[in-house]
Amino acid sequence: MNTIHKVAVIGLGYIGLPTAAILATNGLQVVGVDIKQDNVDAINRGEVPFVEPDLHIHVAGAVSVGTLTATTETPAADAFILAVPTPFNADKTADLSYIEAAARGVAPQLRGGELVILESTSPPGTTQHLADYLIGLRPDLSLDGAQGKPIVHVAHCPERVLPGRVMIELVTNDRIVGGITDEATELARQLYHVFCQGDIHLTDAATAEMAKLVENSYRDVNIAFANELSVISDKMGIDVWELIELANHHPRVNILQPGPGVGGHCIAVDPWFIVSAAPNESRLIRQARETNDAKPAWVIDQVKLALKEVGSEAKVAALGLAFKANIDDLRESPAIGIVKQLSVDLPERTILIAEPHVTMLPQSLTSSSNLHLMNTERAVKEADVVLLLVDHDEFKEMDRSALLGKSVVDTRGIWR
């Protein structure tokens, strides 16, 4: 069994840089690798090119004592951690090109005995694909010592940290590690044990991949159930929020909350990796994705219905653009899609947008001349129809009398 002294972390984003920094502050020699020269330069100055609480302390400290450096070229190392993006293609299959590019950087540096860990959220089978890809590039090596060839150990260890709490959760969360071989699993356990205080659960690579996807699909399916209930309840004239609250009094029922759709870069993406791996068998998971993706169109219809009952000069206030409450993250937000579609479908209407966590509209909305960003009080005051899209505290706490006489479409049920 090898001892790991030097680690190369490929991909210095939201997961890679914190992982590199925490390994470096725990005594390992770490080289971070990224294709973005600007980010590499910033890290070598001890700076962090994005916002994550406490990360700069770790990066600045490790860089100043020389345990963390950054570069654009993959160096030789005892262990390699791949933390690169896995976006999905237009047909919802995973785009593995970043993983393959990282592997092409690693392959020439292998001598035998190294550990290669995939951290990126990936469809089942990706770690095996990575392992086979490496061996394809380096046929002089093997995954298990076959034919006496030196071994490259390959394992998966999915990240499960919550942005905003990364430096805490990296240390305290449990981890799952799954190797292509038992020896790879054990080596990966030893590496994470350097900084992880949670339990480290051992399994095989495909199960580790699926565990991450299943956690997020579990949420997606349950949110889809709540969203479907909201549409059914509307048809039947029932208040879905009261309905869910009452049903949840049962000791074994815990229904999640309906909303305008599911956003973010995890729950709305990861289930597709399961669907593309087993299309015929993943019917419930696919349906949940489709149900959640269909919710924005239903919300748009509700706004159009409300507008029918008011004058042709009526204005709409859309409250919230973020993908969930009390954050400024607009990525994959259903609220943005809804506002964009309303501005296209209703070009003659003025749409007043309030989003207390941003100072300007995102680029995808700037080309629409009928969209105007303003403060919440003014947007509500000037509007005839108020569309609540995000349950930010500011909206929960606002004076409800401002809504009197207005038509309200409350997608989060905060003003019941």
Which range, of 47-55, 213-221, 235-243, 377-385, touches ligand SAJ by CB under 6 A? 213-221
123/264 with CB nearer ligand SAJ: 264
Question: Known catalytic residues?
Answer: 212, 266
Q: Is position 293 an interface residue for ligand SAJ (rule: CB under 6 A)?
A: no
Beta carbons of 111 and 150 less than 8 angstroms apart? yes
77/226 with CB nearer ligand SAJ: 226
Interface with ligand SAJ (CB under 6 A), residue total: 17
Short-list 397, 318, 386, 385, CA closest to 358: 318
**Residues of span 307-366 touching ligand SAJ by CB under 6 A:** 323-324
Exposed/middle/buried for residue 20 (C-beta within 10 Å: 0-12, 13-18, 19+): buried
Q: Is position 14 an interface residue for ligand SAJ (rule: CB under 6 A)?
A: no
Q: Is position 162 an interface residue for ligand SAJ (rule: CB under 6 A)?
A: yes
What is the contact mask toward ligand SAJ in residues 142 to 161, using x (rule: CB under 6 A)?
A: ------------------xx
Q: Is position 256 an interface residue for ligand SAJ (rule: CB under 6 A)?
A: yes
176/266 with CB nearer ligand SAJ: 266
What is the contact mask toward ligand SAJ in residues 261 to 280, using x (rule: CB under 6 A)?
A: -xxx-xx-------------
Q: Is 8 helix (H, G, I), strand (E, B) or coil?
A: strand
| Dihedral angle sign, alpha carbons of residues 35, 46, 160, 320 | negative
Distance CA 263, CA 364 (A): 16
Shortest Å, Cβ 162 to ligand SAJ: 5
Which range, of 66-74, 216-224, 343-351, 377-385, touches ligand SAJ by CB under 6 A? 216-224
Which is it for strands 153-156 and 175-179: parallel, antiparallel or unpaired? antiparallel
Which range, of 19-27, 212-220, 365-373, 395-403, touches ligand SAJ by CB under 6 A? 212-220
Q: Is position 257 an interface residue for ligand SAJ (rule: CB under 6 A)?
A: yes
Angle between the 205-236 and 283-308 helix axes, to the nearest 10 degrees? 30
Tally of residues, the chain: 416
Beta carbons of 307 and 351 less than 8 angstroms apart? no
Q: Is position 214 an interface residue for ligand SAJ (rule: CB under 6 A)?
A: no
Shortest Å, Cβ 23 to ligand SAJ: 20
Shortest Å, Cβ 396 to ligand SAJ: 14
Say how many C-beta atoms besides its own lie within 10 A of residue 2's C-beta.
15
DSSP string for residues in 194-248: TT--S-EEEEEHHHHHHHHHHHHHHHHHHHHHHHHHHHHHHHHT--HHHHHHHHT
Instruction: Please compute, for residue 1, the number of CA atoms within 13 A of its CA located in the half-sphere on the CB side.
Output: 10
Residues that bind ligand SAJ (CB under 6 A): 160-162, 215-216, 219, 223, 256-257, 259, 262-264, 266-267, 323-324
